[in-house]
Amino acid sequence: MKFGILGSGSWGTALAKILTDNGQTINWWNRSETAIEQFKLRHHNPQYLQSARFDINKLVLTSNVEEVIDNSDIIVIAIPSAFAHDVLNKLDNKIFNDKKIVSAIKGILPRQNELLNDYLKDNFNMPLENYFAVLGPCHAEEVAAEKLSYLTFTGIDEQATNEIAAYFKTPYINIVQNKDIYGVQYAAVLKNIYAVGAGIAHGLDYGDNFLSVLIANSADEMAGFLRKAGIINAEVGYIEHKQNAKQTRNNYAASVYLGDLIVTCYSLFSRNRTFGNMIGKGYAVKAAQLEMSMVAEGYNASQCMHILNRKIAAYMPIAETVYKILWQQMPAEEGFKQIELTLV
């Protein structure tokens, strides 16, 4: 199988490192010719994860997105969700025929408030059987440092999911699989919103005691949304092991749900926590965005989930308050005084 990667941010770079460490030669799209030339000269991404060194002979670097897709069997899409439409809308609607797509987008596409698989179905007639997603809990910086991390692969074709996941197994990456495409993607969207909230709390000088209660209630809120959305994978204390110990029944308390929420809320590597921390300290949204060199997915996600939840009507006071702080200029102090009253 030949892999192509669309996106050269920190997460795309981390996934490229894993594949090339496993001996794969990859096609890799970067919109900047200057960055490509610097990459070839220095053997590392000049903008992200500079400590991750690459065998340049295992990289086919190009600014031509069609070239990457045409020359690859499996396309890993690691473009920030806010920019995915701009890249994908320019492509021919048959370009993904007979291709497998692995989404590394930990967000929701904002224009239609939809997951990538639904966008690809509507615009490229992509069958769900050819769609997979790779999620955490996993920060790109720890992958670059080769600290033991876990990746979760999801897809409804269990055999194909297993075959794709095998290319990412390394001494520093363990693999978990499930078939819960919608559940894990919505959970990835929501955990970014809650991580922004955790960052705001930190910026407002709340302590760890409050933060632990905030995150616990966020986990409960996430499970409630999933249940209301018809995704029945929100049990706690029940894991059904299959013969393959890496495959378990979907469960929101497992690593891809609760684990990813915890690490995104607590880790200093979390861009959403960092963004929220700046908001809590009094930065305006635009000022915080300009200060950061990476996209905080939780910003757009908060508006997308606010819109989606008009139909689903889940009880989501934490996510709703984060939305109001980011999009309706609610003072952070006022918002968190309201959150305090909802926590149990």
Q: What is the pLDDT of residue 110?
A: 86
Residues 6+ apart with CB under 8 A from 311: none
Q: What is the pLDDT of residue 256?
A: 82
- Model confidence over 34-83: pLDDT tens digits? 999 999 999 999 989 999 999 999 999 999 999 999 999 999 999 999 89
What is the value of pTM for the model shown?
A: 0.91
As annotated, the residues of the chain forming the CATH 3.40.50.720 domain(s) are 3-179
Mean pLDDT of the chain: 92
Does position 320 have pLDDT exceeding 80, yes or no? yes
What does the block give as tokens for 126? 């992509």
Top CATH class of 3-179 equals alpha beta
Q: What is the pLDDT of residue 245?
A: 47
Q: What is the pLDDT of residue 136?
A: 87
Residues 6+ apart with CB under 8 A from 35: 8, 45, 46, 47
Q: What is the pLDDT of residue 111?
A: 82
Does position 244 have pLDDT exceeding 90, yes or no? no
What does the block give as tokens for 83? 């920019």
Average pLDDT (325-335) is: 97
- Beta strand pairing status for 149-154 and 173-178? parallel
Q: Is 113 left (phi over 0), alpha (psi -120 to 50) or beta?
A: left
Q: Which residue has the higher pLDDT, 7 or 255?
A: 7
Alpha-carbon span 117 to 98, nearest angstrom: 15
Average pLDDT (12-39) is: 95
Q: Does domain 183-342 have CATH number 3.50.50.60?
A: no
**Of the candidates 58, 79, 72, the residue with the CA atom closest to the CA atom of residue 10:** 79
As annotated, the residues of the chain forming the CATH 1.10.1040.10 domain(s) are 183-342
